[in-house]
Structure 1
Amino acid sequence: MPSSGTELITDVGEAKLNLALGSGVAVQITHVAMGDGNGANYNPGFGQTELKRELARNPIERQHMVGSNAWRVTVEFDHDTPAFWVREIGFFDAEGDMIAIWAGADITARQTGAIDYMLDHILNLSRVQDGLVIINAPDDGLFDLAITTGLAIANLQLEQLRQADAIRTAHGQL
């Protein structure tokens, strides 16, 4: 999504974060929902507890920190997701409460449906104390390390096979 629009922590989100402040319990954001804003762009409000018209919700697939209290979250909505123009995005905790929302009168809506829709969004929680919010999904860095390690092992095995073939060719079949 483009950087225009407004992202804010809802009143429910702020209340949960304030409660977590003294208790040592973190608010775990686990899901992202998208909606069409009931057919129109709008500016989000702190009092919102849900999207104007939620049409799809999925768990967060990957995350990593990109700064102090800023998380990059990745969610894929597959081609079976109903076709609609995305005008609002909600970030929900493990209990189903909307903690943050992104929407705006100035956004350019993007369409879902028929293709896989990859949401790659920076969730800015700069007004929140460190450690109070946890994005509950695998860390991109760990995922990237696993892929890189797997690729390195596969390349090593290919090289060993290539060398074994070269030895057999040079010295005949054993």
Structure 2
Amino acid sequence: MSSAFKPVITQAGITAVFNATNSGLEANIVAVALGDQSWSPTSAATKLKQEKRRIPVGNGNKLSPNQIHITAIEDGQQEAYWVREVGFYLEDGTLLAVWSHPSQPLAYKAPGVDLLLAFDVALSALPSDSINVIGNGTVNLSPATTAKLGVVRFATDTDAKAGAVNNEVVTPKGVRVHGDARYARVSHRHPWNEIDSKPSTYPPSGHRHTWTQIDSKPKTFPPSSHSHDDRYIRLTEVPRAVYVDVRTTGTTATGSTALTWALAIHPNSGFNNNDHLVVKYRNRYVRGTGNGSAWWTDEYTTTFIKAGSWRSIATSTNGFWG
């Protein structure tokens, strides 16, 4: 059990501490006495009302100049009793301080069961650093720090997530909670100087993109609405054939005019020798029908080959009213 309380400092204890400090020494607490009588102690007390057991201090240390931590084990096998009074004894047998309450017991000692005691004792009535604790090293329940062993409390998930408490320990689950909260955020950003292995040029000379990284992909292939012009056609192999329809450009009966219109769409610089340019064009004019006149359309398809300059190698034609 653990209790933090302020016992009554006895007059005899004050005298013993005074004598020790005048000699350049500290008064040493070496034993804890337990009794089963309830009462209201005063500074005139020199012993417990009914002491049941006196046990050596297991361990202890100073928490501050006027507060000490004491641990002890009541491991006696005698009859059971309620602990209603506690005394702290110096090594010369003087009762330094005593605690009791008229109606409230402190603990219960069962037969054959060890009673573990831990006290944070406030001694504000005594000079700072005038009391020391001498233990036999059997048990140490003082709070742990980064410099010494002791008792610690496990951090809650909330404490682990916040990562701000410095006097608790973290379980493996708490480490996971802390890591998930701090280092695996669903949405987060990194400054440029934290990115490793950046390429020196953009885009890098050799790189790839996964399908999921490509934006604005069409839903169907080929897309329902698309065109091909000199931005997309690259004549890197020979011979190549490019088909151009210039019927909507105008009316002409000459292949040279149609070639000029076609090269306005696909510039001459994009072609190599032996490449073919297949041009479809038309000539529309009024023609007599025997019953008057009507529109007649001649449609031509001429194939040109580049051999330094362009020359025609084949022409087909088709005529119809309208």
Q: Same fold (TM over 0.5)?
A: yes
CA distance in 2, matches of 1:42, 1:3: 19
Is contact 2:71–2:117 with CA below 8 Å preserved after alignment? yes
Paired position in structure 1 for 2:116: 118
Q: Deviations over 1:139-163 (max 9, x none)?
A: 7568727xxxxxxxxxxxxxxxxxx
Change (3 A) 1:122 1:3: closer
Is contact 1:81–1:112 with CA below 8 Å preserved after alignment? no
Q: Shift of residue 16 of structure 1? A: 1.1
- Is structure 2 residue 56 aligned with structure 1 residue 59? yes
CA distance in 2, matches of 1:116, 1:132: 31
Runs of 4+ in 1 over 3 A off after TM superposition: 1-4, 138-143
Paired position in structure 2 for 1:132: 130
- Is structure 2 residue 22 aligned with structure 1 residue 17? no
Paired position in structure 2 for 1:96: 93
Is contact 1:55–1:82 with CA below 8 Å preserved after alignment? no
Paired position in structure 1 for 2:47: 50
Equivalent residue in structure 1 for 2:149, among 140, 144, 153: 144
Q: Shift of residue 42 of structure 1? A: 1.2
User: Considering only aligned residues, what root-mean-square deviation do their CA atoms show, in Å?
Assistant: 2.3
Gaps of 5+ in 1: 146-174
Q: Deviations over 1:52-92 (max 9, x none)?
A: 00001111001122223211100001151431111000000
Residue identity in the other structure for 2:8: L
Determine helix, strand or coil for the equivalent of 2:149.
helix
Gaps of 5+ in 2: 151-322
Is contact 2:16–2:94 with CA below 8 Å preserved after alignment? no
Residue identity in the other structure for 1:144: L
CA distance in 2, matches of 1:73, 1:97: 17
CA distance in 2, matches of 1:118, 1:143: 21
Change (3 A) 1:60 1:143: farther
Is contact 2:3–2:119 with CA below 8 Å preserved after alignment? no
Residue identity in the other structure for 1:108: P
Identity %: 25
Is contact 1:2–1:107 with CA below 8 Å preserved after alignment? no
Q: Deviations over 1:69-119 (max 9, x none)?
A: 211100001151431111000000111111110112252342103211011
Determine helix, strand or coil for the equivalent of 1:63.
strand
Change (3 A) 1:117 1:126: same
Equivalent residue in structure 2 for 1:74, among 71, 85, 105: 71
User: Of the two, which has the highest radius of gyration?
Assistant: 2
Paired position in structure 2 for 1:85: 82
Q: Shift of residue 121 of structure 1? A: 0.9
When the two structures are superposed, what TM-score results if normalisation uses the length of structure 1? 0.71
Is contact 1:12–1:49 with CA below 8 Å preserved after alignment? yes
Number of aligned residue pairs: 141
Greater relative contact order (Cα 8 A, min sep 6): structure 1 or 2?
Answer: 1
